[in-house]
């Protein structure tokens, strides 16, 4: 099981920028905690951060055939990027959108997510702990998918034998 975590613009500045909104935790600390959860659960995890929309689209596309799920914080691109939304839809992988702050309590322009409708679910407003919740949620989603595939395998084998 492999999960790719994709971080959007300015998230590399966590712990420095707007601590009253995003808190003091740095991105490296969030990733370290996620890696601990992944290791404890036998999950492969990979991290990626970019400030460039096209690079984020490329990384999402690279997940096709290489990853089982995506956890993404598109950051400011949440509210503007049809390209990221289309990439998420194209790869058709379970995807959880994460936001550290509650976007619905912020400026009006931040209250609309262009990317959320393409995602399986969203975790919003839990601070850095939201990434932990997304990890637990993604592992559950992937476990359910695997269980469903295993349950379908005997039925498919029976149909092939007939």
Whether 100 has a binding-site annotation, put simply, is yes
12 marked as binding residue: no
110 is in an annotated binding site: yes
The answer to whether the annotation marks 79 as part of a ligand binding site is yes
Which of these, 86, 87, 100, 84, lies nearest to 134 by C-alpha position? 100
Structure tokens at 134: 């997304």
The separation between the first and the last C-alpha atoms of the chain, rounded to the nearest angstrom, is 33
Q: Do the beta carbons of residue 100 and residue 130 sit within 8 Å? A: yes
Q: Is 45 labeled as ligand-binding?
A: no
Residue 11 CA to residue 28 CA, distance in Å, equals: 10
Quick one: which of 18, 16, 42 has its CA closest to 29?
16
Cα-flanking dihedrals φ and ψ of residue 71, to 5°?
-115, 125
Q: Is 101 annotated as a binding residue?
A: yes
What ranges in the chain are assigned the alpha helix state H?
19-22, 27-40, 53-62, 82-91, 129-161
Active site residues: 22, 99
Question: Can you say which residues are annotated as belonging to the binding site for substrate?
Answer: 73, 79, 86, 100-101, 110
């Amino acid at each position: 099981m492999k999960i790719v975590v994709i971080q959007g613009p300015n998230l590399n500045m966590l712990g420095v920028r707007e601590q009253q909104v995003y808190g003091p935790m740095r991105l490296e600390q969030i990733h370290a905690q996620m890696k601990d959860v992944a290791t404890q659960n036998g999950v492969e995890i990979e991290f990626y951060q970019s400030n460039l929309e096209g690079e984020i689209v490329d990384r999402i596309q690279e997940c096709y055939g290489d990853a089982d799920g995506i956890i993404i914080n598109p950051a400011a691109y949440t509210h503007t990027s049809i390209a990221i939304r289309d990439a998420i839809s194209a790869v058709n992988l379970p995807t959880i959108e994460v936001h550290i702050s509650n976007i619905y309590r912020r400026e009006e322009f931040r209250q609309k997510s262009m990317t959320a409708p393409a995602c399986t679910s969203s975790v919003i407003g839990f601070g850095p702990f939201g990434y932990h919740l997304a990890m637990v949620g993604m592992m559950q989603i992937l476990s359910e998918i695997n269980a469903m595939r295993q349950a379908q395998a005997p039925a498919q084998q029976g149909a092939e034998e007939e």
